[in-house]
Structures are given as C-alpha cells and as structure tokens.
A and B are shown apart, each in its own frame.
Chain A
Amino acid sequence: MPKKPLDDRIRDSPRPHAPPIHRSHWGWLVVAYFFLGGIAGGAQVIAALAALVGGKKSAGVARLARYVSFAAFLPCPPLLILDLGRPERFLHMLRVVKLRSPMSVGSWTLVAFGGVAALATLDQAAADHILPRGMLTRRRGWWSPLTAVTGLPLGLGLAGYTGVLLAATAVPLWTKRGLLLGPLFLASALSTAAAAIDATAIATGQRHRGWAPLRRFERLTLLAETLLMAAWLGRLGRAGLPLASGPLALWVHHGVAGLGLAVPAVLGALAPHLPPKLRITASAVALSSTLFGGFVLRWVLVVGGNRSADDAGATFEMTARPSTERKQGN
C-alpha cells in the first residue's frame, strides 16, 4: 500500500489550524523604515564615493547626497520607536551589544550612522554658508574625509542589515534564500538613494554637467537589483507562494519588476534619443518609478513574509527531516 503523503494527512486532519510559527507584527511603520533607512544609508554611500573619488566635478552630487541622506534618516528613529510595544523603553536597545542579533547590530549602526550623517550635514551646511562662520566652519578641514570614510561602511551597514534581520528568523519567505536578502536590500537602497538624489537635483534645478556618474551608478545598481531579484524569486518554492499568487503577485510583477526595474531601464535607454525637453520629463518619471518600486519591494517582503509564516506547509517543507532518516525512523 502506498503511504499517504504527510502533507495530505496534515491537510485532512481537521485540527484547529494554528500555524506552527508566529508571524511578526510588523506593518507599514517598518516598511517605511526599511525604505527610508535604505535611502539614508545608500545616499551616504554615494556621498562618500563622490567625495572620495569623484573629485570637484562630483562635489554637487556629494553635496545633495549628504542632505538627502540626513533628511531620509530623520524619520527613521521615530518610526522604529513608534513600532515598539513599549516606545518609552526604546533606549533598552542600547543596553547590550549582541553580534548574533541583527537587530542589536542594526540599532547600534543606526545610532552611529545618525551621528555621522548629522556631522556630514553640518559640514556641508558650513560649506554652503548656511551656518554662520565660527568654530564649525574653521575646523572643517578633517570633517569631510572623516564623514566619508566612516559614512561609507555605516551607510552600507544601515542599508543592508535589514535583509540579514529578516533572514535570521523562522519565516519561510525570509529565510529560504536568506543569503540574498542583504545584497538585494543593498542594491535597492542604492538605486532608490541615487534616484532620490537625482530627483532632488531635478526638482531644485541643479542637474547639469557632472551628474553622469550618478546616472551611471543608478543604472548599475538597477541592473544588480534585477539580477538579485530574479535569483531570489527563482528558487523560493512553497516559501514564495505568497508572492507567486494572489494580489501580492500583481504587486511583485507590476510594482517591483515593472515600475521599479523595467520602466527606469526602458526610459534610461530611450532618454538620449529624446528631445531635451522630454528628457527631463522621462527622467522624472523613471526616478519616481524607481522610488515607488523600491517601496513596494519592502512592502511585499514584509507582508509576504507574514503570510508565509501563516502557511504551515511552507514551514514544514523547510523543516522536514531528510527523507532517508524518515524512512529509517519509520
């Protein structure tokens, strides 16, 4: 007699269907933080690269990148604090240092990053004569290189740790191909940050010569994001079910892949052939599209993860004993 597959027996069994693991309570506060934290970190990385290797021609990029980074950073701590069950205890995040806990690493990274981002912004404001001349402006000499050298790793850390945080859980969607989540978050953080800087430049009429490297970097990160996304989605199996069917699948196809990746790529390729007036419009559409796609990526990841946590079959597929062992056990 053929043995009835375990999956069928579980499905048949009329037990009260509580999922074997608990879903996270994370919602739009965390999604917004993932998005803004990514832009903050990514923009600081771009500021550092522009300052360290871009030379004078990229000074405009570095300048805007510092402001964008700090502006995106400012809402991050409030978003995270509001998400706590006990917001008044937010400082408990800094009681201990735990390298095995991505959230502990992330908390410390966020604090250090905030300091560097603030310093970089003050430095820039002094250079732009927004701040009155004084001690700040006189001591500027060593600030710029310092914020660039520390901002680069801290920005990468802030943009990428969130992927590790999701990977180090029992949630099937987050842990199945978890090694790719950090790189995917990084790629998306850098592409959305580049888009945010570029969009700010267009909005304030500063985009002219010297911005080609940023656009080049934008295209490279979008390409990397596309490859990582394809690699990640490709082999999720049952864990990826929430993203492969139902309403979230539409968001993945049209939001993340379509608006986030395809539209900017197509418009980027078309742009040189367009008349100058249309070129700016095309850029604006491509940049908003990139930003929208980046936000949707974080949203489908969080919501999809919660749904996969509710799917007992996805958990049991990942935690099944090796078949040889099961045979021996029986």
Chain B
Amino acid sequence: MTRSFGHEHPGAMGFLTDATLCIGCKACEVACKQWNELPADGDAALSARSYDNTGDLGATTWRHVAFIERVATDEAPFAWLMLSDVCKHCVHAGCMEACPTGAIVRTEFDSIFIQPDICNGCGYCVPACPFGVPQLDQDDGRVHKCTLCYDRLRGGLQPACATACPTDSILFGPVTELRSIGRSRVESLKERGVQKASLYGDTSLGGTNGIGGLNAMFVLNDEPELFNLPAAPSLPQRTTGPAFLATLLSGACFALLGAAAFRATKRGED
C-alpha cells in the first residue's frame, strides 16, 4: 500500500478495547459483519456454558466478544469478564512477515491489511500469528481478518465496531493518544482496587520479544491468559535467521560427511 493517494501519512491508528467497560452487547460484532458483509456464524446458538456464540476470531468473525466466567478465588470474587477481541495490528506482525506472496501489507494507517486479490490461501500466516487471528476461509480459499475498516478510514469514517460500541469500550484513534488514555485508565483502576489491571499491548508487551507493541491495545482487569491472550508472546520470525543458520551449518557438516564417505572409494575400497 503506497502513499500515492496524495494522503499525508496520518501516523499509527488503532483500537483501545476496555474489558472493564464492555457490557457484552455484541453491537461491535454485528456492525463489523454488516459493514464487511460477513456471513453469520451458524444459527447464533450459544456455546455450552456461556453467552458467547462466535467462540473465536475467524475468517468471517473479525470482532469476537468473549464471555468469561471467572471463578471465585481468595483474591477475587466470581465475575463476568467480557472483552471484544480483535486483530492486534502488531507493530511487527508475524502474519505479514510470514506471507510469501506479499498479500499482507502495512497501510498508511499502520494497520495490517490482507489484499484479497493477492492472497492465494497458502495459510502460512495462520499458525504464524501469535494471537490466533487470521483464518483460512474454506469457502473462498483465502485468509481473512480485521482490516481496521481500511475502506472506512479512507473515507474519513471510524471503524464500524468503534462507531457501534455504546459504552466506548472500543475507542479508535491515534495509537499514541490511545496509549495515554489506556495508561491513565489502568492507573485509575488500580487506585480503585483492581490490582491486576494492565494495558495489554503497551510497548512493554513483546517489546523485548520482537513484536514491539500492538496498535490495537486492551485494558484488562485480570491476567491476560484468562482472556485467552498470551502474556508475553514472541515474534515467530525471530527464529528464521538462527534456524536458517543452524540448518546451513548442519548442511555443511553433512556435505563434509558425505564427501568423506565418497572420498574413501578413491583409496580403492570396495
């Protein structure tokens, strides 16, 4: 995605999704599906023991409202944890680095976008995402995920989910602004006794593991794992260089072994 549209670079835009404000209404899921013309997930049946009916992010579910029943412990009482999960639009994105076709690009809004006319459905980005976001659509043979409503942003509109959210649990804006809003929200939560409050995706997350922070951040009120989020994931492609080197070195050893094995014939063996 070049900047040849005549737009000035607007800087990184993203989401701040606040679990403490989410009421689980799923307006974001619906708005997302309507704007992006995504099919419904089955017959909207609720999953076994929860009000969650989409279950997971997927090829046709780009916002997923998780309903988590937190069991009572000595530290905290029983609670409903609700969170609208979405693509994290990583600063260094595993899916984008894995993509062999160049279909996955970074837009002028610093969001990660899969070009549907390029993707050939190799599916490598799927296991390469540390957050389990992109998914191969078995029906149309391509991988899909949240686009940060690229088409709406180009037209000066906010993403559909952020527009629909009735409690401002989903905020859209410049990442720097969202980060300071998120940090002060976490401070305020901690003052009010939510000791586990954290800003998931602040540069502290993954900053040392290669991901370098998330453009879609989350205010959490318990451990990330309870929200099905990895606490300190790594950029998978940090392995690429060392793994190629290890393979190369072992390859050289095998070549030498082979050369020794074949060399011996010249001395008249066998």
Contacts and interface: CB of A to CB of B under 8 A. Distances in A.
Interface of A: 1, 3-4, 6, 9-10, 12-16, 18-26, 45-46, 49-50, 52-55, 57-58, 61, 83-87, 89-90, 92-93, 95-96, 98-107, 152-153, 156-157, 160-161, 163-165, 167-171, 174-175, 178-183, 185-187, 190, 209-214, 216-217, 220-221, 224, 305, 309, 312, 315-316, 319-322, 326, 329-330
B181 to A, nearest CB: 21
Contacts of A15: 50, 52, 66-69, 228
A238 to B, nearest CB: 14
Given A170-B127, A171-B127, A213 B262 contact: yes
Given A22-B129, A93-B101, A160 B251 contact: yes
B141 A330 contact: no
Given A84-B121, A316-B225, A167 B243 contact: yes
A187 B251 CA distance: 9
Nearest to B229: A20
Contacts of A321: 231-232
Given A170-B129, A210-B270, A175 B48 contact: no
Interface of B: 47-50, 52, 55-56, 66-71, 73-75, 94, 97-103, 118-124, 126-138, 140-143, 195-196, 198, 223, 225-226, 228-234, 236-237, 239-240, 242-244, 246-248, 250-251, 254-255, 257-259, 261-266, 269-270
Given A107-B100, A179-B239, A319-B232, A217 B261 contact: yes
Contact of B246 (A21, A106, A157, A183): A183
A283 to B, nearest CB: 15
A170 B128 contact: yes
Which of B123, B196, B240, B243 has the most CB atoms of chain A within a 10 A radius of its CB?
B243
Contacts of A16: 47-50, 52, 55-56, 66-67
Nearest to B269: A212
Contact of A315 (B50, B121, B230): B230
Given A104-B100, A161-B247, 20 more contacts: A1-B74, A13-B68, A15-B67, A16-B52, A16-B56, A16-B67, A20-B230, A24-B124, A24-B127, A54-B265, A57-B265, A152-B255, A164-B247, A167-B243, A170-B132, A179-B246, A183-B250, A185-B247, A186-B254, A320-B232
Nearest to B101: A92
B71 A13 contact: yes
A325 B121 CA distance: 39
Contacts of B126: 22-25
A169 B236 contact: yes
Nearest to A98: B100
Contacts of B239: 164, 167-168, 175, 178-179
Contacts of B266: 53, 55, 57
Which of A9, A220, A315 has the most CB atoms of chain B within a 10 A radius of its CB?
A9
Given A84-B141, A186-B251, A212-B269, A93 B127 contact: no
17 contacts: A9-B223, A21-B131, A25-B136, A46-B258, A54-B263, A83-B122, A84-B121, A89-B121, A92-B119, A98-B97, A100-B97, A163-B247, A168-B98, A186-B251, A213-B270, A224-B254, A330-B196
Contacts of A187: 250, 254
A18 B56 contact: yes
B164 to A, nearest CB: 23
B129 A21 contact: yes
Contacts of B228: 15, 18, 20, 312
Contacts of B127: 21-24, 169-171, 174, 305, 309
Contact of A210 (B71, B223, B237, B265): B265
A183 B258 CA distance: 15
A320 B236 CA distance: 15
Contacts of B230: 20-21, 315-316, 319
A164 B261 contact: no
B264 to A, nearest CB: 6
3 closest residue pairs by CB, A with B = A85-B121, A182-B247, A85-B141
Given A85-B121, A319-B231, A20 B132 contact: yes
Contact of B254 (A61, A157, A221): A221
Contacts of B234: 319
Contacts of B137: 85
A248 B230 CA distance: 27
A49 B135 CA distance: 43
A3 B240 CA distance: 38
A13 B130 contact: no
Contacts of A171: 127
Given A13-B70, A213-B262, A168 B130 contact: no
A96 B102 contact: yes
Nearest to A3: B75
Contacts of B138: 85
A101 B98 CA distance: 5
A180 B246 contact: yes
Contacts of B99: 98, 101
A168 B265 contact: no
A319 B132 contact: no
Contacts of A20: 131-132, 228-230
Contact of B134 (A22, A83, A183): A22
